[in-house]
A and B are shown apart, each in its own frame.
Chain A
Amino acid sequence: DVVMTQTPLFLPVTPGQPASISCKSSQSLLKSDGKTYLYWYFHKPGHSPQLLIYEGSSRFSGVPDRFSGSGSGTDFTLKISRVEAEDIGVYYCMQTLHLPYTFGQGTTLDIK
């Protein structure tokens, strides 16, 4: 199975400051069709997970532009340019190139 490794696992941030989460996969997520099968989800406690970023760097519909994704192959990053209180929760990277699909361990974003 593809192992997704996120760092850090806990990220305290000051509102208005940037935040960055790393995700590394044990196998390349770039397919021969040119697509990168790496996704970022946000999970607020008591709510359903929601898609933030698809194909490594494209923001999903309705996602604020303070969120951005980058990376290729096996190394990916999610950045929040200016953290807001509503961003508190757990962020997961996920791959859907190799079955079984796998998530990272999750990164908990909290306010300092």
Chain B
Amino acid sequence: QVTLRESGPALVRPTENLTLTCTFSGFSLDSSGMCVSWIRQSPGKALEWLALIDWADDKYYTTSLKAGLTISKDTSKNQVVLTVTNPDTVDTGTYYCARYHWDTTFFDSWGQGILVTVSS
């Protein structure tokens, strides 16, 4: 059974970096073609794809964020980490991690999401 779970702070200040962790089970990010992605939904807005990391450690990012994004993985811990540098209040939202594969090219399993508020 594939599961993903997001963890991190519920509240961050605009001067702090936001670090979110996706802990998954039921698959390996060492497997050829396997990927994990981050997607968010800001209040009243649509889903927004943010970043993806694949089994080969290749990384891909949205072009639309003012804040900086870094995605990384720790395969031994079955974790993917997303860091949002210098977040703004517009980065408030629910952040989801989801499994993706280069062959199927869709997100088939999602975490429950974590609500993060960026506020001073």
Report which A residues bind B (CB closer than 8 A): 1, 35, 37, 39, 41, 43, 48-51, 54, 60, 92, 94, 96, 99-106
Question: How many B residues, CB 8 Å from partner?
Answer: 23
Query: In the bound complex, how far is the Cα of B51 from the Cα of A100, in angstroms?
Result: 8
Residue pair A103, B106 in contact (C-beta under 8 Å) = no
Knowing that A41-B47, A94-B47 touch, tell me 17 more A-B residue pairs with CB under 8 angstroms: A37-B105, A39-B107, A43-B47, A48-B110, A49-B39, A49-B107, A54-B105, A54-B106, A60-B106, A92-B46, A99-B60, A100-B61, A100-B63, A100-B64, A103-B48, A106-B46, A106-B47
Task: Tell me the total A-B contact number using a CB cutoff of 8 A.
Answer: 54
Main secondary structure on B side of the interface with A: strand
Question: Which residues of chain A are near B106, meaning CB under 8 Å?
Answer: 39, 51, 54, 60, 96
Give the distance to chain A from B107, nearest Cβ to Cβ, in Å.
Answer: 6
Give the distance to chain B from A85, nearest Cβ to Cβ, in Å.
Answer: 23
B112 contacts partner chain A, Cβ-Cβ < 8 Å: yes
Report which B residues bind A (CB closer than 8 A): 39, 41, 46-49, 52, 60-64, 96, 98, 104-108, 110-113
Question: Which residues of chain A are near B49, meaning CB under 8 Å?
Answer: 94, 100-103
| The 10 residue pairs across chains A and B that have the minimum distance between CB atoms | A48-B110, A101-B49, A100-B62, A106-B46, A103-B47, A96-B105, A54-B106, A105-B46, A39-B106, A103-B46
Query: In the bound complex, how far is the Cα of B39 from the Cα of A103, in angstroms?
Result: 10
Residue in A closest to B113 when the chains form the complex, CB atoms: A48
Main secondary structure on A side of the interface with B: loop
Residue pair A49, B46 in contact (C-beta under 8 Å) = no
Give the distance to chain B from A111, nearest Cβ to Cβ, in Å.
Answer: 21
